[in-house]
Amino acid sequence: MEQKLARLKAILGEVADLNHVAALLGWDQQTYMPPGGAEARGYHLATISRLAHEKFTSDEVGVLLEDLKKETRGLAPDSDEARLVKIAARDHEKSIRVPPEFVAEFAQATTKAHEAWVEARRNSDFAAFRPHLEKILELQKRYISFFPPADHPYDTLLDNFEPGMKTAEVKEIFDTLRPKQVELLQAITSSAQVDDSFLHQAFPEKEQWDFGVDVITKFGYDWTRGRQDKTAHPFTTSFSINDVRITTRFMEEFLPSALFGTMHEAGHGMYEQGVSQAYERTPLADGASLAVHESQSRMWENLVGRSIPFWEHFYPGLQERFPAQLGNVDLQTFYKGINKVEPSLIRVEADEATYNMHIMLRLELEIDMVEGNLEIKDLPEAWNAKMEEYLGVLPPNDAQGVLQDIHWSGGMMGYFSTYALGNLISVQLWEKIGQAIPDLPEQIRQGKFDALLGWLRENIHQYGRKYEPQELVQKVTGSKITPEPYLRYLQSKYNDIYGL
């Protein structure tokens, strides 16, 4: 068994290398690549993606996995070896259904679509992006056709981001969540609104950058194994456990954008940096799922970064950087301002009470597209209708509406629900952390995050992709993903801010 396992790890390592090269090319495309390089980059990514796919789906890997599935039955089911074989076999069984030619075509199509999206968003021109999105939807439907019929065709896409999760499960969770959030929103909108006008003025980019760097350095983001760059849409990517990169974007007239975006991406980055070094160059060297990943980013952004203990420590330093803008704004006014609840157009800038509504809207649109009930040409109108229905706001243009997210240009259908699920997981974990570290608010007040990061390293990060998401959440919290803790958190927080 040892010899076969060593051979499997060697091949998986080469596959990981190729995938990380593709990720590096993707990072460069979104940060430094000139627009004229898009066509060539499409070929680069198509070739690399096809080579990785062919290597992973080879007959040799199939034989090794079949042998090792039998030979690891005597091992403890939670051993690294048994889990590696289980996860690799699952990935292999999915990958062999997908032709290499399709993988290359998908890489080329999404590379072109990304550049088209950047330009279309800049010009608020959905018509320019429409043929690319039509191509991606057609590719997604072909991808679904490679697999046996599921309970719902969307299950096949969802499984790529949330392994083991079903569309029906997500709908059930959202059906519980939606009326409670609507009820909370109605209570808030009938209360006196808080003032956040001081956040809408000029905040020089360099000072924003420097403050954000100071914050995430204290969080524990390791700069010897990471870096930060600017991009149109913030993201995190990794080329190794020891090379995890984050990006952010700045709005000089609105402080929270980069402020909380930097914290958010650092949460993703610290997760990737915390995976066990033993998993390097294996399929285990990743997050358990996108929802678990999102739980980490939303925890640092919201449960830490929007809390009063956090700002009791950091606000004097922020005032020193922006004395003209914030010198006369007291702590309580600032705290309420950054937690203002107001239905808005842009998901990434949305407050905690309305954020999930943005996600539910996108999930419903994706399901309609996959089911064939919504044509791409009608997407902007459908988007606007749901924005008005769910949030009471109407996008004035497509840049602030249907074109605002990067995900569809990258072919990431099946992704959006993980954002809301991550919110729920973050508070389930936070309740457990509070029991384990009862003086955590005081530690945060002192600018100390070692115990918090240490708990996450021990209970979440180190495991990488070893456990499926529901399995990991159950293991750590004693419950599968559930909305109740998150609803309690929102109610308590906004009772205080809005005097409900």
Q: What is the CATH number of the domain that holds 277?
A: 1.10.1370.30
What average pLDDT does this structure show over 47-71?
96
Task: Report the predicted TM-score, pTM, of the whole model to 2 decimal places.
Answer: 0.94
Q: Which residues touch 200 (CB under 8 Å, ≥6 apart)?
A: 253, 254
pLDDT for 233 equals 82
Total Cβ atoms within 10 A of residue 55 = 16
Question: Which residue, of 84, 117, 149, is where some domain finishes?
Answer: 149
Task: Evaluate whether residue 161 is within a structural domain.
Answer: no
Question: Among this protein's residues, is 265 annotated catalytic?
Answer: yes
Q: Give the residue-averaged pLDDT of 360-365.
A: 96
pLDDT (average), residues 107-125: 95
Residue 158 in domain: no
Integer Cα distance of 89 and 426 in angstroms: 29
Q: Rounded to whole angstroms, how far apart are CA atoms 500 and 376?
A: 42
Check whether residue 130 and residue 268 sit in a common domain.
no
**Angle of helix 352-371 versus helix 126-145 axis, rounded to 10:** 70
pLDDT tens-place string over residues 245-257:
999 999 989 999 9
Q: How many CA atoms lie within 13 A of 256 on its CB side?
A: 21
The strand pair at 226-230 and 236-240 is best described as: unpaired
Query: By three-state DSSP, how is residue 232 classified?
Result: coil
Q: At 432, list the tokens.
A: 């457990």
Same domain, 230 and 82: no
**Same-domain check for residues 263 and 124:** no
Q: What is the mean pLDDT of residues 332-351?
A: 94
Cα–Cα nearest to 199, from 355, 338, 292:
338
The answer to whether residue 302 sits within a structural domain is yes
CATH code of the domain in which 18 resides: 1.20.58
Given 115, 265, 352, 468, the catalytic residue: 265
CB contact at 8 A, 213 and 229:
no
Task: Let me know: does 234 contact 265? Beta carbons within 8 Å.
Answer: yes
Q: Is residue 390 part of a domain?
A: yes
Q: List pLDDT tens digits, range 17-31.
A: 999 999 999 999 999
User: Residue 249: which domain range?
Assistant: 167-498
Q: Are residues 71 and 176 in the same domain?
A: no
Residue 311 lies in a domain: yes
User: How many domains is the chain built from?
Assistant: 2
As a dihedral over the C-alpha atoms of residue 413, residue 417, residue 419, residue 424, rounded to 10 degrees, the angle is: -160
Helices 256-273 and 205-219 cross at an angle (nearest 10°) of 30
482 half-sphere exposure, CB direction, 13 A CA radius: 11
CB-CB contact of 220 with 450 (8 Å): yes
Residue 159 belongs to a domain: no
Task: Please say whether the beta carbons of 231 and 265 come within 8 A.
Answer: no
Q: Are residues 218 and 282 in the same domain?
A: yes
Tell me the average pLDDT across 230-240. Answer: 93
Strand arrangement of the beta sheet that strand 226-230 belongs to: 226-230, 243-248, 236-240
Last residue of a domain, one of 117, 149, 181: 149
Both 309 and 409 in one domain: the answer is yes
Whole-angstrom Cα distance, residue 458 to residue 475?
A: 13
Last residue within a domain, chosen from 149, 175, 199:
149
Same domain, yes or no: 209 and 235: yes
Secondary structure of residue 249 in the 3-state scheme: coil
Q: Are residues 115 and 31 in the same domain?
A: yes
Same domain, 317 and 235: yes
Whether 316 is covered by a domain: the verdict is yes
Predicted local confidence at residue 500, as pLDDT: 82
pLDDT in tens, 435-482: 999 999 999 999 999 999 999 999 999 999 999 999 999 999 999 999
Contacts for 120 with CB less than 8 Å, ≥ 6 apart:
126, 128, 129, 398, 403
Question: Over the stretch 199-211, which tens digit does the pLDDT of each residue have?
Answer: 999 999 999 999 9
Q: CA of 98: how far to CAs of 44, 104, 137, 411, 497, in Å?
A: 20, 11, 16, 15, 51
Q: Are residues 210 and 91 in the same domain?
A: no
Q: Do both 296 and 373 map to the same domain?
A: yes
Within this chain, do residues 259 and 294 fall inside the same structural domain, yes or no?
A: yes
Whole-number pLDDT of residue 30: 92
Residue 408 lies in a domain: yes
In contact, 422 and 291? CB cutoff 8 Å: yes
How confident is the model over 376-420, as pLDDT tens digits? 999 999 999 999 999 999 999 999 999 999 999 999 999 999 999
* pLDDT exceeds 90 at position 348: no
